């Protein structure tokens, strides 16, 4: 009897012990497994980043053409990542914006104009590699710089270019002197920000204030950000950024509003109310500038 009891005692003690060992093994295993997964994920992410960087800096690398992405089809929204939280100001003085990205005199103004005096240094905003140093029609003396996140910044109307094609430049390096070359009235910098051939309203990515901040390290671009007629060159758009894919989809859905025409409304009144252009309203609703508005008519407007 005593023996049997001792035997059970021994067995239960052994089971307890072996369970303890098993559990600690599981624990050990799970720690090493998750650590391994983490390490592998980090390596894979690094490799993805490296290969993306490589693709951006080599594919469509053309030192002659202004836009080497002509055939490229982008799907929206698309993400852009920044390794920095600030950029270098392209001018050494306070940035005075004289004309914004948007609709201007019935034409698309696909950049932002920053005031300067001829001969002022113009600095590159982010680290990168000089893709083109040329005189382009309209833009005059221009420097195009490609960055590792796929973005390109373009500095136009320069009086002098200070870099060569394929030069590696760190942010803040003077790449030219400001001027008035090309189709320009008065010396200023015409700054273009593009991604795979699409000209983005720079204000969605960069804050043109004294802090020189990049709005977020991850930004999702939707079609509105690359559509000049949805912005006015005279007024700042209310900037709503998207930092995730889902947020970009949500913002896109919230962008449109149904407006019901009231007595005394004109297309220009409605356009200015929603900070959009007559052209945008016409395109959105398949009407022409001379169409007569009816009271009660529903129009889709982009906010």
Closest approach, Cβ 296 to Zn ion, in A, equals 41
Q: How far apart are the C-alpha atoms of 230 and 275, rounded to whole Å?
A: 8
Closest approach, Cβ 129 to Zn ion, in A, equals 24
Closest approach, Cβ 33 to Zn ion, in A, equals 56
Closest approach, Cβ 228 to Zn ion, in A, equals 11
Closest approach, Cβ 279 to Zn ion, in A, equals 19
DSSP string for 98-118: EE-SEEETTEEE-SEEEE--T
Nearer to Zn ion by Cβ, of 77 and 111: the residue is 111
Closest approach, Cβ 121 to Zn ion, in A, equals 19
Considering only 63-71, 111-119, 207-215, 290-298, which stretch makes contact with Zn ion by CB under 5 A?
A: 111-119
CB 241 within 8 A of CB 269: no
Nearer to Zn ion by Cβ, of 68 and 111: the residue is 111
Nearer to Zn ion by Cβ, of 52 and 97: the residue is 97
C-alpha dist (Å) from residue 287 to 43, 223, 256, 298: 54, 21, 17, 12
Instruction: Looking at residues 55 to 84 of the shown chain, list those that interact with Zn ion (rule: CB under 5 A).
Output: none
Nearer to Zn ion by Cβ, of 156 and 299: the residue is 156
Q: Does 113 bind Zn ion (CB under 5 A)?
A: yes
Q: Which contacts (CB < 8 Å, 24+ apart) does range 239-247 have? A: 239/203, 239/204, 239/215, 241/204, 241/215, 241/216, 242/77, 243/216, 243/218, 243/219, 244/218, 244/220, 245/77, 245/79, 245/220, 247/220
Q: Does 190 bind Zn ion (CB under 5 A)?
A: yes
Nearer to Zn ion by Cβ, of 155 and 225: the residue is 155
Nearer to Zn ion by Cβ, of 113 and 148: the residue is 113
Q: How far apart are the C-alpha atoms of 55 and 51, rounded to whole Å?
A: 6
Closest alpha carbon to 193 in 109, 112, 72, 83: 112
φ, ψ for residue 81 (rounded to 5)?
-115, 145
DSSP string for 17-41: HHHHHHHHHHHHHHHHHHHHHHHHH
Considering only 105-113, 119-127, 211-219, 282-290, which stretch makes contact with Zn ion by CB under 5 A?
A: 105-113
- 3-class DSSP assignment, residue 194: strand
Nearer to Zn ion by Cβ, of 111 and 140: the residue is 111
Total residues interacting with Zn ion, rule: CB under 5 A: 3
Considering only 126-134, 189-197, 201-209, 273-281, which stretch makes contact with Zn ion by CB under 5 A?
A: 189-197
Instruction: Looking at residues 205 to 244 of the shown chain, list those that interact with Zn ion (rule: CB under 5 A).
Output: none
Write out the residues near Zn ion by the rule CB under 5 A: 111, 113, 190
């Amino acid at each position: 009897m005593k023996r049997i009891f001792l035997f059970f005692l021994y067995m239960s003690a052994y089971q307890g012990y072996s369970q303890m060992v098993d559990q600690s093994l599981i624990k050990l295993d799970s720690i090493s497994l998750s650590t391994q997964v983490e390490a592998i994920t980090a390596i894979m992410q690094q490799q993805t980043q490296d290969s993306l960087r490589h693709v951006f800096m080599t594919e469509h690398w053309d030192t002659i053409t202004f836009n080497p992405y002509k055939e490229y089809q982008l799907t929206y929204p698309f993400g852009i990542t920044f390794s920095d939280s600030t950029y270098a100001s392209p001018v050494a003085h306070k940035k005075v914006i004289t004309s914004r990205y948007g609709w201007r005199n019935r034409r698309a103004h696909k950049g932002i104009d920053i005031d300067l005096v001829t001969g002022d240094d113009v600095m590159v905003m982010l680290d990168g590699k000089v893709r083109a140093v040329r005189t382009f029609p309209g833009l005059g003396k221009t420097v195009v710089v490609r960055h590792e996140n796929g973005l390109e910044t373009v500095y136009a109307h320069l009086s002098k270019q200070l870099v060569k094609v394929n030069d590696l430049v760190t942010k803040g390096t003077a790449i030219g002197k400001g001027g008035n070359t090309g189709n320009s009235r008065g010396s200023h910098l015409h700054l273009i920000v593009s991604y795979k051939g699409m000209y983005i309203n720079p204000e969605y990515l960069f804050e043109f204030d004294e802090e020189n901040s990049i709005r977020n390290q991850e930004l999702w671009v939707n079609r509105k950000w690359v559509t000049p007629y949805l912005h006015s060159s005279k007024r700042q758009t209310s900037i709503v950024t998207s930092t995730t894919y889902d947020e970009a989809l949500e913002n896109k859905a919230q962008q449109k509003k149904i407006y019901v025409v009231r007595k005394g409304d004109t297309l220009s009144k409605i356009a200015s109310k929603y900070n959009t252009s007559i052209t945008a309203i016409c395109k959105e609703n398949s009407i022409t500038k001379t169409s007569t508005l009816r009271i009660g008519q529903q129009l889709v407007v982009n906010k």
